[in-house]
Amino acid sequence: MSTGHRVVVCPAAALPAGEVVRVDRPGLDVPVAVFNVDGDLFAIDDTCTHADESLAEGWVEDCAVECPRHASAFDLRTGVPSSPPAITPVRTHLVEVVDGEVVVEVGTPRPA
């Protein structure tokens, strides 16, 4: 994936709190999942680092998503897994609302 690749995901109104959208478009090496957690947006690579599984299909609690295959949980703020079997973080991406659209800066890590 190229650094700083801007992707318009959807209108902000189409991603309400508690929802997730999976972005898989030409030009992206891997799909990206964008989560709305209580009004805060988070974007991560959508593939679990332990198994080839979509994290967008997982369960979100607090600010973590649990992989539906083996239950590894990833912090949406940092991408760091909190439990095995995954030990490698997923990449995070900068996400913001620009002119009413959810925009992901793929390859630009979310600020700490």
Give 2's pLDDT tier (boundaries 50, 70, 90). very low
CA distance 108 to 90: 13
Q: What is 5-106's CATH number?
A: 2.102.10.10
Residue 5, pLDDT score:
85
Question: For the whole prediction, is pTM greater than 0.85?
Answer: yes
pLDDT at 4 exceeding the cut of 70: no
Q: What percent of the chain has pLDDT above 70? A: 96
pLDDT per residue as tens digits for the range 28-78: 888 999 999 999 999 999 999 998 899 999 999 999 999 999 889 999 999
Type of residue found at 70 = H
Cα(106)–Cα(43) distance, integer angstroms: 9
Residue 31 per-residue DSSP state: -
